[in-house]
Every structure is written in C-alpha cells, then in structure tokens.
Chain A
Amino acid sequence: MSISVSHINKSYKDIRALQDVSFEVKKGEIFGLIGPDGAGKTTLFRILATLLIADSGQASVAGHDVVKDYKTIRNCVGYMPGKFSLYQDLTVEENLEFFATIFKTTIKENYHLIEDIYKQIEPFKTRRAGKLSGGMKQKLALCCALIHKPEVLFLDEPTTGVDPVSRKEFWDMLKRLQQKGITILVSTPYMDEASLCDRIAFIQDGKILEIDSPEAIVKHFTKTIYNLSANNMYKLIESLKTYEHAHSVYPFGEFVHYTDTRDVFDIDELQHYLKNIGLNDITIEIAKPTIEDTFMALAK
C-alpha cells in the first residue's frame, strides 16, 4: 500500500474537519478525493504531508508512519499545496534549482521525470515565477514537486482556477507520471476530472461517503435518471420540486436531472402535470447517471 489512512479524526476547536476517515491507495494509482470546498480535503493532505498532526487515528505514506517517520516521508513525497507557493521573486529556473538543492539532488539527475512538463515552460525559464500565467504556474509547481523523484505525489486542487485546455494537459501529465510508477493523490472539486482517476473517494463534511472506481461508483446509482427540459427552466425546476413523487431535482448543464420516488412510473403522467402548469416544449428522456449524479445522491 502506498498510502494507508485509518480512522483519522481532526477537529479545529468545535469544527470537526475530519471524522473517522479511512482509505487505502495502491502503488501507482491515481486516487481522487472529490468533494466541495470545506469538505476536509486540504486538512487530509496536510496530515499526510506531515504538516499537521491528527487528533486520533493512523496514517502511513510509502510505508512510513506520518508522525513517527515524518522525516523519511518528507524525502519521498512531493506536495503541491492548493495555493501557489513558490518564490514569486525568483525565476522559473531558480525555483526549480532551489527545490532540487534542498532535496540534495540536481535538475539534471531527474530531468527525465519533468522533461515533458518542463519543456513547456522552459522558454520562460528566466522569467520571475510571479509573472507566469496560472497554467504555467501550476506546471512549474508540479516540476518543483517532482524534482526529487518522489514515490508519492500529493496534489491539492491542482487545477482550480486553470483554464480547460491547461486542465486537460495537466491530467495528461498525471497519467504519464503514473506510468512511471508514482502514486498520486489528487483532490478536485470538478466532477469531470473524477472520471480520470483510477479510484475516487467522495468526501463531504469531513466524512468519506463512498470509495470506488469511477465506473463502479456510477453503478451504485440504482435509480433511473431523467433529462428534462422545457421552455422555462426555472419554472420547470420549481414545479418539479413541488411534484409529489419527486425524489431529487437539480440542474445539470442544459437539462434538469430528475429522479422519482417510485421504481416504475409513467412518463406521460409527469408530462401531463408539467403541461398543466403551463410549460411548453417539454422533453423527457432517460439519462446515463454520471459521477456528479452519484455524488448528489450521496450528499443528500
């Protein structure tokens, strides 16, 4: 096991940031922590990165206990905090060199590991880090987190605030790093990124709701989901919410996702109900459940 967390609890005064959190990550796996802001993702990262000590429970990273062997862990993990935290007044190259040196290595030695990523920012290597764009900052931060050839990589919301193209590139890079045998624990508030992980854990209010592969997690969703649309979306949501058999109603892209309390029900009946309210152009069709649907159902 590359990362193992068992029964971790952490409170800040009267806020319980983490409650009895347990999970395991296999070597070479991309494990996603999916949850809204304030779910406890960063707290968990900080505990695993040996920056924070849990109130109770055990955790180990790369086979080392996070409390007892924190020194060993600091040598073999790469941590990329959610907030950009490199030296803004040093250049791209100086930042990389600095982190290489304090890990007692050189850029040359592990260049193969960062080559793909570093090549993209190399044209700007004499630029101060503070003057880089958001996407480039993330790439530099990833390079700095990788320069000492870590066994485990912790990425706390690496793509928040990054444009869609850079996000996609970033995930491509993670896939390539995975092939080099690096275990990656990544958190994200974006549900579409969740499907790119090998396994994901839903986390909300400090509790883990579900852990499984993205494909399997969707199968947990037993209810039939309907895509609904009409000429007045707001009215549609409002009227669906007041419908007596409604189980869940929430907007989903250009549609409204709807589930019914009954296992079997007549679509015409619903259509009739909506028409009576005064909605037009009503379409109702069965949709494939997504990770977001599963999360919404679990988070309810």
Chain B
Amino acid sequence: MKILGFIIQKEFKQIFRNKGMLPIIFVMPIVQLLILSNAATFDIKNIKFSYIDHDHTPTSRALIEQFDASTYFNVVTDFPSENKAQSAMLKGDVDVVLEIPNHFERNLVKGKNIPLGVTINAIDGAAAGVENVYITQILQRFNKAIQLNVFQPTNALSKPVNILTIPSFWYNKTLNYKTYMVPGILVLLVTMITLFLSGMNIVREKEIGTLEQINVTPIRKREFIIGKLFPFWVLGLAILSIGLIIAKFVFNVPIVGNLGLMYLYTSIYILVILGIGLFISNFTDTQQQAMFISWFFMVIFILMSGLFTPIESMPKWAQLITEFNPIKYFVEVMRMVMLKGSLLNDILPQLLKTLLYAFVMNGLAVWKYRKTT
C-alpha cells in the first residue's frame, strides 16, 4: 500500500511539474467547452435569401415580406433575371432563390395553382433539407392567409377546418441547442484527456528508459499499473466537475438528475478509457505512435457516438458497431441523467455494459503488459 501511495504521489508530482502539459489538462477543456458549445449548432440561421419578382404586385411583395420577417432568412437582394441569380448562387452569395412568376396575384385570385420556383444550394444536404422545410412552412402560412382574405366564406359549412398542432418539447422546452450539446461535449473532454494522457504515460517511461529501471525492481505489476492510472482517473473526475460547473453557471443547462449518479457512472467509464489507454501503450514504443493510435480510436468513437449524428439514422451495421463504443453510453447516460433526471434503474443497462467493458479492457491490458521484453 505504501508503495502504491508513493507511486501515485510521484505521478502527481510529475504531472504538475510538466509545464507544457498542465495548461492543456486544465485550460483546454474549459476553452473547448466554451467555444464548442457556442459554435457547434445544428440550428440553421442567417440563410442568404434572394428573389426574382416577375409580378411586382402587393401580393408578391407581401410574400417577400414574410421571408424578411422570419428570423431564419436574411433577404440579401433581388435579381432582375434568372441568369444573374444563377451566377450569384455559383459565387456563393446566396443560398436560396425564390422565383415569383408573372401574373402571380391574378392567378391566385382566380384560384389557380401557381408554381413557385425555389432554388436551394444543396452542397450541405442536411442544411438544404432544413431550409426547404422552413420555406415550405412560410409558403403554407402565406397560402392560408391569402385563402382567408380572398375567399370569403359563404356559409359556415364550407369553413375550412383548421387542425392546430401545439408541439410540446419535453426535457428541453426551449429547444435550446446548448442544453443538448453541453453534456455531449463534456463527455468528449473527459474522454480525450484521460485517453491521451494515460495512453502516453507508460509509453513515455518506455521512451526515456525509466521503465527498464522500474522493471528490475520488485515492484508488482498491479501496483505499478494502478499507481500510473489512478492519477488520471482523478483528473478525469476533476474535469467532469469543472465541466459541470461551467454547464450550470455559464450555459444554464438544467441539471435535473442526481449528481452522485453521474459521478458513479463516470468513475466506471473512465476505467474503460484508462484500460484502452494502457492497452495502446502496451503495443507502442513511442509517444507519437500512442498518440496516433489514440486519435484513430477517438475519431471513430466520437463520430459514431450519437453526439453529432443520431445513431438511429445510421445503417444497421454501423449501429451494431456503436454497441462497442463506450462514448455512446456515456453520451446517453449524461443526457439522460442531466436533462431527464433518469434514475439508476434507467441507466442500468448502460452501466452494466460499461462495467463489463471496463473489466474486459483492463483485463486484456494487464494480461498483455509484460515486465520483461
């Protein structure tokens, strides 16, 4: 026990003496959380909207005003011809071009169907889809208003039946994107810091030759590994705490669930990551190698974690792979506990899978670790 305590003490000393690493460990998470949470948003705003109005009537102008009034669209300009609009789109000056045909008002009053031309820059397919929905909504609303104005109801029977939907968004009432993102980014930070640091730590001793000296001592494998990894386990929890404080006080993310439950899950989760880090360091000889391999796993884990894209929309095989992704469980648990106030029972499946993962990873890593070469 005394030896273990001493190794841990030594490890902490080394971490706090590493002038290059220290700011990265503590400043990087804060900066990333502040920047990413504000910047990484799927809300599509400030769409550069332009139009070609062949009609020039009060009705066509009223339609344009609808777009102008919307917070999603910025009416940039209008074009006299289709050619001009096309070249502007090519240059990227506009995202959407709405073309209003000749006799728009007249045909509308006559009750004819009028085709409107909508051109959307679809290089970013997801954004284009969202833009299309916004445009359709505005047009439908406009259509309904026109109908009420133009066709005066002659009797009560022919009155259009309006079905009104009142959506109610649970767990994130205002559809605040940050509420959704902050727990996810927090997960990312805890994972990155603990994986990179633990992965490189033992390799570093290999690189500078101290491992050789350590290996001829009677120190036990168990003591050495626990002594090396424990500080990073503590660091991981420290980063979680910093992140939660920022989430609460800077982003005002509601923390509905039990904090203890979050810490319980995270403490098990970090064990998985430390196991992966140790496993990587067994197979690498330099910090550079360890870093690249860690990155490889990190990128796959992040992109397949459901953090940025919903897992439900991935192909079947990819969904299967995500079952082995520890980050996926962590993201799920954080969002469930933080935003929904889920209890131990609700996150039990994730908790058990993570626990199993921790045993397998650490078992493999310790088994593969050799004091001799």
A interface residue numbers (CB < 8 A to B): 46, 49-53, 70-71, 74-75, 77, 79, 81, 83-90, 94, 98-99, 101-104, 144
Contacts and interface: CB of A to CB of B under 8 A. Distances in A.
Q: Give the bracket for the number of chain B residues in contact with chain A.
A: 20 to 34
Interface string B1-13: 0110011001001
Contacts of B216: 49-51, 74, 77, 79
Given A51-B372, A52-B372, A85 B213 contact: yes
A94 B218 contact: no
B6 A103 contact: no
Given A51-B373, A81-B213, A94-B10, A88 B208 contact: yes
B145 to A, nearest CB: 72
B17 A102 contact: no
Nearest to A144: B213
Contacts of B218: 71, 74-75, 102-104
B213 A90 contact: no
19 contacts: A51-B212, A51-B216, A71-B218, A74-B216, A74-B217, A83-B209, A85-B212, A86-B213, A88-B208, A89-B18, A90-B10, A90-B13, A99-B217, A101-B2, A102-B3, A102-B6, A102-B214, A102-B218, A103-B218
B215 interface: yes
Contact of A52 (B13, B18, B373): B373
Contacts, number: 68
A13 B48 CA distance: 66
Contacts of B211: 85
A48 to B, nearest CB: 10
Contact of A86 (B3, B13, B210): B210
A51 B212 CA distance: 8
Given A94-B13, A98-B6, A103 B217 contact: yes
Contacts of B2: 101, 104
Sorted nearest first, the 7 A-B pairs with minimum C-beta distance are A85-B209, A85-B213, A79-B216, A101-B6, A74-B218, A83-B209, A75-B218
B150 interface: no
B140 interface: no
B208 A85 contact: yes
A53 B17 CA distance: 36
A87 B9 CA distance: 14
Nearest to A71: B218
User: Do most interface residues of chain B lie in helix, strand or loop, or is the interface mixed?
Assistant: helix
Given A50-B372, A51-B373, A87 B217 contact: no
Contacts of B219: 102
Interface string B204-230: 000011111111111100000000000
B14 interface: yes
Interface in B214-256: 214-219
A87 B372 contact: no
B5 to A, nearest CB: 9
A72 to B, nearest CB: 9
Nearest to A154: B216
Nearest to B216: A79
Nearest to B217: A102
Contacts of B6: 98, 101-102
A145 to B, nearest CB: 8
Contacts of A52: 372-373
Contacts of B13: 89-90, 94
A49 to B, nearest CB: 5
Interface string B164-176: 0000000000000
A104 B372 CA distance: 21
A81 B212 contact: yes
B152 to A, nearest CB: 86
A94 B10 CA distance: 8
B287 to A, nearest CB: 15
B7 A102 contact: yes
A99 B215 CA distance: 12
Among A46, A71, A79, A89, which residue has the most Cβ atoms of chain B within 10 A?
Answer: A89
Interface in B1-46: 2-3, 6-7, 10, 13-14, 17-18
A58 B18 CA distance: 44
Contacts of B17: 89
Given A74-B218, A90-B10, 15 more contacts: A46-B373, A49-B216, A51-B212, A51-B215, A51-B216, A52-B373, A79-B216, A85-B209, A85-B213, A98-B6, A98-B10, A101-B2, A102-B7, A102-B217, A103-B217
Contacts of A89: 13-14, 17-18
Nearest to B16: A89
A104 B3 contact: yes
A85 B214 CA distance: 9
